[in-house]
Chain A
Amino acid sequence: MTEQLEYSAIPRRRLPTLPPLLRGLSVADTLALGFAGFLLVAVIAPQLLTPYDPLVPDPGATLQAPSLTHPFGTDYLGRDLLSRVIHGTWRTIAGSLVAVVIGLFGGIMLGIASAYFGKTVDAVIGRAVDVLLSIPGLLLSMVIVVSLGFGALNAAIAVGIASVAVFTRLMRSEVLTVKELGFVEASFHLGESRWGVLRRHILPNAYGSVLSLTALQFGAAILWIASLSFLGYGAAPPDPEWGLLVAEGREYVVSSPWMVFLPSLVVVASVLAISHISHFLRERVA
């Protein structure tokens, strides 16, 4: 608590410039940042990373094991698996981004409303959060995706709605904590408006913990979206979405196990890299 008091007393924190931010990187930091950079290129310009088209079948080269020409092997239609994984990156990453933005935005709004208006509003939002939290996230997103209809975007929206509750709870407790601090109270008495206090004091103070929850939820969203499309509720074939790639590979898991394991490992690496970077940022920025 004292830590929060100290840095919030400084009117505007300047973000550290790039060189000190990157000074003294450990091996794990470098790996995580490198992989995140790779994902970024795969989202923006996938054709730079692979010469193959993810959708064009090659009847002469079906179900080939990983080799130098096809590092991840080929699938049952002879499509290059690495290029499918690379071209599928933006579907998973953009989907998770949509989910996190929905969860974050909804959660911040509801959390602030709950803490600011108190009484009835707080009670209503509180019970809604209890209800949403009593259904495991993956199951809740399945219920929502049934009502929205299957599809990559709908799966992302469903995961987003399913994660509103955790953000609401965090935001509410953050606002309530900061609201009681002496300097916020003083600011009210000095004639600052509710909106002004919110913008100048409460949001900047909540920034750190909301950021780390966002990173955590981003990782969870990748896993949930991959699980939903693995079960067949998300992206539809021939879309090279990661979960869908695993589901397609499942038919050939005995003879061509790489079709299941390589895309899955990319999911693991992405989630690990994101959670590591969030740790790293929390230490360096905050």
Chain B
Amino acid sequence: MPAALHSYTARRIAQTVLVVILTYVLVFFILFILPGDPIQQQIENPQNPIPAADAKILLQYYHVDRSGLDQFWIALRRLAQGDLGYSLTTGKPVASLILQAIPQTLALASTALLFTGVIAFTIALAAAFAPSSVIRGIARALPGAFLATPSFLVGFLLLQLFSFQLGWVSAIRDEGFKSVILPALALAIAVSGPIAQVLIQGLNRAYGEPFVTVLRARGLGEARIVLGHVLRNAAIPTVTLLGLTLGELLAGSVVTETIFSRTGIGFLTQQAVREQDAPVILAVVMLVSTVFALTVLVTDLIYPLIDPRIAARPIPATADQASD
């Protein structure tokens, strides 16, 4: 078994590295090689043309005159040295733009992840165990409603209620942690639907298992059975959704940060896409997809530790469905 486990681990790591590299290749070719030269467009931008002297530097730096493959090798060699290129609109190094934006988004995404957990668990527990059938029905319908709601609507509702009506948080000024709460809540509502659905299924399944009868026979209270045992069993499959959720949180921050006037990765992306600033977009996409790929890898590898029943079974030969 350990030998099989090692080769499985090695294969999953190799697969992840391959996916990250191929993602870079794909996004690079979509942005730089396909017709519609982003650098030339930026130089001739009618609203904000770049002066000829600066344009020359840009053209030389990106070697637009060379073939697509050459450009790719040059970009790859620079990447190896930590050089992510320069923004086409501001001329600042992409690496420093990203580094500046990360703390804001880290605060937002981690708070949102916490809220996502709280919302999903609350909904699922209410859907499975609320005393009134009306509350159970509403809780069961909520995940679907969340999935159907565009994140800008949630953002504007929260702004309208808490900033404009009640005046608790400023809609524009940055007030530290207080300003994180509303956007994090908007993001959390947008991504908590699938987790709540998986949890509801898990709760119903775990509640029907024989161990519940055993626990009841041993005289445990219902609350203790649900919170201490059924919930733990039901929560295991949600671990596999962690990668997907993190990816959605980062992608969703594009809309949320725009609405709440925050200056993190999402806002940087929104600006970069609007200005067709290819080097910045490439860096952001690579950041998000690497976070996603690594999270999926880690959750795959630690899953047998969380759920020993998986480790007892032979490891499947293919892990293609890992991202599910």
A interface residues (Cβ-Cβ under 8 A, vs B) = 126-128, 130-140, 142-149, 169, 173, 219, 223, 226-227, 230-233, 243, 246, 250, 253-254, 257, 260-261, 264-265, 267-268, 271-272, 275
A264 and B152 contacting across the interface, CB-CB below 8 Å: yes
Contact, CB under 8 Å: B150 / A267: yes
B264 within 8 Å of A by Cβ?
no
Instruction: Say which residue of B27, B145, B150, B250 sits within 8 Å of A264 (CB atoms).
Output: B150
**Is B278 part of the contact surface with A, judged by Cβ < 8 Å?**
yes
Instruction: Say if the beta carbon of B239 comes within 8 Å of chain A.
Output: no
A112 and B126 alpha carbons, distance in the complex (Å):
42
Q: How many A-B residue pairs have CB under 8 A?
A: 135
Q: Residues of B at under 8 Å CB distance from A? A: 15, 18-20, 22-23, 26-27, 30-31, 34, 36, 38, 144-145, 147-153, 156-157, 159-160, 164, 247-248, 250-252, 254-255, 258-259, 269-270, 273-274, 276, 278, 281, 284-285, 288-289, 292-293, 320-321, 323
- B112 CB to nearest A CB, Å: 14
Asked if A138 and B254 sit within 8 Å, CB to CB, the answer is yes
Interchain CB contact under 8 A, A143 and B152: no
- Cβ contacts under 8 Å, A232 to chain B: 274
Contact A268 B31 (CB under 8 A): no
List 30 interface pairs A-B (beta carbons < 8 Å), by A numbering.
A128-B22, A130-B15, A130-B19, A131-B23, A131-B26, A134-B323, A135-B23, A135-B289, A136-B248, A138-B251, A139-B284, A139-B285, A143-B30, A143-B285, A144-B30, A145-B273, A146-B31, A146-B278, A148-B36, A149-B36, A227-B255, A230-B255, A233-B274, A250-B156, A250-B259, A253-B160, A261-B153, A261-B160, A264-B156, A268-B153
> Measured between C-beta atoms, what is the minimum distance from B169 to chain A in Å?
14
Given A147-B36, A233-B274, residue A227 in contact with residue B153 (CB < 8 A): no
Known contacts A127-B19, A147-B34; is-contact A139 B292 (Cβ 8 Å): no
Contact A139-B254, Cβ < 8 Å, known A134-B289, A146-B31? yes
Measured between beta carbons, the chain B residues less than 8 angstroms from A267 are 150, 153
A129 to chain B, nearest CB (A): 8
**In the assembled complex, how far is the CB of residue A132 from the closest CB belonging to chain B, in whole angstroms?**
8
List, in ascending order, chain A residues with CB within 8 A of B26's CB.
131-132
Q: Is the interface of B mostly helix, strand, loop or mixed?
A: helix
Is B145 touching A127 in the complex (CB atoms < 8 A)? no
Q: Is the CB of B273 within 8 A of A231?
A: yes
Q: Residues of B contacting A147 with CB < 8 Å?
A: 30-31, 34, 36
- Bound complex: CA of A257 vs CA of B150, how far in Å? 16
The closest CB in chain B to the CB of A165 belongs to B323
Chain A residues with Cβ below 8 Å from B156 are 246, 250, 253, 257, 260-261, 264
CB distance from A233 to the nearest CB of B (A): 6
| Chain A residues closer than 8 Å to B23, beta-carbon distance | 131, 134-135
Q: Is the CB of A134 within 8 A of B293?
A: yes
B-chain residues with CB within 8 Å of residue A142 when the two chains form the complex: 254, 269, 273, 281
6 further A-B pairs in the complex, CB-CB below 8 A; given A127-B18, A130-B323, A275-B147? A130-B15, A138-B254, A143-B285, A219-B147, A264-B153, A268-B153
Contact yes or no, A139 B153, CB < 8 A = no
Q: CA–CA, A151 to B204, complex, Å?
A: 46
A223 and B34 CA atoms in complex are apart in Å by: 27
A133:B273 contact, CB within 8 angstroms: no
The residue on A at minimum CB distance from B35 is: A147
Within the complex, what minimum Cβ distance (angstroms) separates A189 from chain B? 27
In-complex Cβ contact of B31 among A130, A135, A143, A219 (8 A): A143
> Do the beta carbons of A136 and B273 come within 8 Å of each other?
no
Q: Closest chain A residue to B322 by CB distance?
A: A130
Knowing A139-B254, A264-B153, say if A231 contacts B323 (CB, 8 Å).
no
State how many angstroms separate the Cβ of B125 from the closest Cβ of chain A.
24
Report the minimum CB–CB distance from B183 to chain A (whole Å). Answer: 15
A246 touches B152 (CB 8 A): yes
Report the Cα distance A268→B20, complex, angstroms: 35
CA distance A148 to B38 in the complex (A): 11
Chain B residues in 8 Å Cβ range of A132:
26
Q: Rank and list the top 9 A-B pairs by shortest CB-CB distance, nearest first.
A: A136-B251, A271-B148, A264-B153, A139-B251, A134-B289, A136-B247, A272-B148, A131-B22, A138-B251
Q: What chain A residues lie within 8 Å of B285 (beta carbons)?
A: 135, 139-140, 143
Cβ-closest chain B residue relative to A242: B150
Q: Please state if B153 and A265 are interface contacts (CB–CB under 8 Å).
A: yes
- Name B284's closest neighbour in chain A (CB-CB): A139
A283 to B125, CA, bound (A): 27
Report chain B residues within 8 Å CB of A136.
247-248, 250-251, 288, 292
| Most chain A CB atoms below 10 A, which of B151, B152, B164, B293 | B152
Chain A hits for B323, CB < 8 A: 130, 133-134
CB-nearest residue of chain A relative to B149? A268
Max chain B Cβ within 10 angstroms of own Cβ: one of A128, A131, A267: A131
Closest Cβ neighbor of B156 among chain A residues: A260
CA distance A143 to B153 in the complex (A): 23
Q: Are A272 and B293 touching (Cβ within 8 A)?
A: no
- Across the interface, name the chain A residue whose C-beta is closest to B18: A127
- Give every chain A residue within 8 A of B164 (Cβ-Cβ): 253-254
B30 touches A261 (CB 8 A): no
Q: Is the CB of B19 within 8 A of A231?
A: no
Identity of the chain A residue whose Cβ is nearest the Cβ of B255 in the assembled complex: A227
